[in-house]
């Protein structure tokens, strides 16, 4: 161990964990002990261990020490795709069509989510995204105009509402869920696939300060896969 760096120490600790030097679920030496062993400052060991903890391989507690996780948490991390970038990554030209863009009385599940009275109007949009001339994804969106300034001036003809929102209401919280659904009649028609075709669905709700800004369902055309590394 000639180079002492938090990175090298992290790798070293990782392989020692893998080799079984310490029991699964067991304690590993304290930071001070490891610092002495590696001949570096405690800060450096701390950083290495903190990284391992973020990755879910160890659990750290004050006074309790650092333990190896019983069932190592396999965390995957990936970027929630922006449709335009996904399309352009394939080399195809991106464009979209706005199929709906109007206030509408939402189903109950939506009005609840928006904390609205049942009969209040909510802005509703449907967007069809293309890769070249092939439909790539079909998106339905409920949008809380009260949470979004300037919507009337948004360039929704030229920029997808999605991207405009990202730029205008940045850095909000959100929930996402992934699932599989059989295409209904409207969606299969939009995407040009058979009825009941299995589609990958991303359902997101975006918040800002406890106010729902928007909730969307994006149905991807059949070839779509979402990839991540463990």
Partner DNA sequence: TAGTGGTCTAGACCACTCA
Partner DNA sequence: GAGTGGTCTAGACCACTAT
Q: Is 61 in the site for DNA (CB under 7 A)?
A: yes
Count of C-beta atoms within a 10 Å radius of residue 224 = 15
Enumerate residues 153-212 that contact its own copies by CB under 8 A.
163, 166-167, 170-171, 173-182, 196-201, 204, 206
> Three-state SS for 7?
helix
Binding mask 70-89 for its own copies (x = CB under 8 A): -xxxxxxxxxx-x--x----
Euclidean distance between CA atoms 18 and 124, whole angstroms = 52
Residue number with CB closer to its own copies (96 or 200) = 200
> Three-state SS for 160?
coil
> Three-state SS for 125?
strand
Residue number with CB closer to DNA (38 or 114) = 38
Enumerate residues 8-37 that contact DNA by CB under 7 A.
8, 30-32
Q: Is 2 in the site for its own copies (CB under 8 A)?
A: no
Euclidean distance between CA atoms 213 and 146, whole angstroms = 8
Q: Is 205 in the site for DNA (CB under 7 A)?
A: no
Euclidean distance between CA atoms 9 and 82, whole angstroms = 36
Euclidean distance between CA atoms 62 and 51, whole angstroms = 16
Least distance in Å: CB of 177 to its own copies? Answer: 5
Q: Which residues bind its own copies (CB under 8 A)?
A: 14, 17-18, 24, 56-57, 71-80, 82, 85, 163, 166-167, 170-171, 173-182, 196-201, 204, 206, 220, 222, 224-230
């Amino acid at each position: 161990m000639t180079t002492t760096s938090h990175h090298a120490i992290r790798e070293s600790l990782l392989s020692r964990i893998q080799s079984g030097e310490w029991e699964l679920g067991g304690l590993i030496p304290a930071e001070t002990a490891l610092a002495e062993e590696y001949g570096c400052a405690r800060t450096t060991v701390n950083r290495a261990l903190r990284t391992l903890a973020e990755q879910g391989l160890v659990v750290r507690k004050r006074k309790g020490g650092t333990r190896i996780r019983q069932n190592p948490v396999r965390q995957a991390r990936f970027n929630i795709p922006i449709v335009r970038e996904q399309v352009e990554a394939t080399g195809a030209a991106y464009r979209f069509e706005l199929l709906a863009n109007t206030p509408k009385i939402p189903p109950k599940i939506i009005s609840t989510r928006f904390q609205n009275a049942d009969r209040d109007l909510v802005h509703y949009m449907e967007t069809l995204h293309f890769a070249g001339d092939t439909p790539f994804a079909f998106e339905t969106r409920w949008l809380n105009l009260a949470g979004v300034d300037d919507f009337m001036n948004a360039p929704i003809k030229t920029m997808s509402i999605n991207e405009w929102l990202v730029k205008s209401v940045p850095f909000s919280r959100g929930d996402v869920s992934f699932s599989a659904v059989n295409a209904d009649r409207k969606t299969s028609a939009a995407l040009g696939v058979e009825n009941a075709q299995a589609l990958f669905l991303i359902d997101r709700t975006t918040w800002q300060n406890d106010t729902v800004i928007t909730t969307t369902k994006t149905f991807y055309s059949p070839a779509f896969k979402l990839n991540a590394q463990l």
